[in-house]
Amino acid sequence: MLQREPPPVLRPFVSRLWTIEPTASGPALRERVLPTARMHLVFRSSAHSLRILDDPRDRRGSNFGHAIVGGARAGAYLREVLPGGASVGAELRAGACMGLFGVPADTMADRHTLLEDLWGAGAMHACDRIFSARGAAARLDAFAEILTARLPRVHGLHPAVATALAGFRESQEVHAVVAASGYSHRHFIAVFERETGLTPKRFSRVQRFRKLLAHAAAHPALSWTELALAHGYSDQPHFNRDFRAFAGMTPGEYRRAAPRYPHHVPLA
């Protein structure tokens, strides 16, 4: 996988760009994808289709097209990806959904959406342009240019949501962030969910989970108890409940699976 920071003009809306080179023939990859609280936009070449599974025993699944938007989630989902093709993707920041796709983020949450339903014929034009480029770097360049061309439609992130996101990065409690916004509790939640796809409480919980997984990957010798304490979990049962809710598995099962990437756990 080749990863790249987006150009400066895209950074308020895109946290990273990535591309995966075509793989050799072999069995389909089946994995559990853990939540990040962010949306994703992915283009796949014709040989690299995506299939969403209902459970680990599902052998049919639901097939999706080659240009897909993944909404923000607070739970894991299962997928199967066929080998042989290339893919290009972007992890989107809060506030990008309305501008890039023309709909509020909460209408896209917890599901996959065909980009064609949002961009029309522009989705396939973008796909053709990306995969006609030769090499990983050229594909990323084409992808960045496509996203940049849509920036005139992008509206700025709501100021109250921008302030809240900064507060969550500093580990402020949800009630303090809401109180500082100056809005009523109900109105702030509606605004935040429209911009990010998740309520403030779910967003902050998934963000903490995401940071914990990154910490665990960087320091594999640390115990789950040490990691839970470092990230503010009140006790081990609290940590275990959150982990199972977001990952669909226990911390011990996660470690035994030994994922190469923290949010992509191979299915047995």
Cα–Cα distance for residue pair 41/89, rounded to 1 Å? 5
pLDDT above 90 coverage of the chain, percent: 59
Q: What is the CATH number of the domain that holds 23?
A: 2.60.120
pLDDT digits 0-9 by tens, 205-251: 999 999 999 999 999 999 999 999 999 998 899 999 999 999 999 99
Kindly tell me if the per-residue pLDDT of 49 is higher than 90.
Answer: no
Same structural domain, 239 and 182: yes
pLDDT at 259: 93
100 and 10 co-located in one domain: yes
Residue 15 forms part of a structural domain? yes
Do 54 and 96 belong together in one domain? yes
Q: Which domain holds residue 235?
A: 159-251
Q: Phi and psi at residue 15, in whole multiples of 5°?
A: -90, -30
Residue at token pair 């990437």? 261
Q: Between residues 231 and 268, which one has the greater pLDDT?
A: 231
* 7 SS3 class: coil
Domain boundary, last residue among 94, 126, 153: 153
Residue 14 to residue 96: CA distance in whole angstroms? 8
Residues 164 and 94 in one domain: no
Please state the domain count of the chain.
2
Residue-wise pLDDT tens digits, 99-136: 889 899 999 999 999 999 999 999 999 999 999 998 89
Instruction: Tell whether 169 and 71 lie within a shared domain.
Output: no
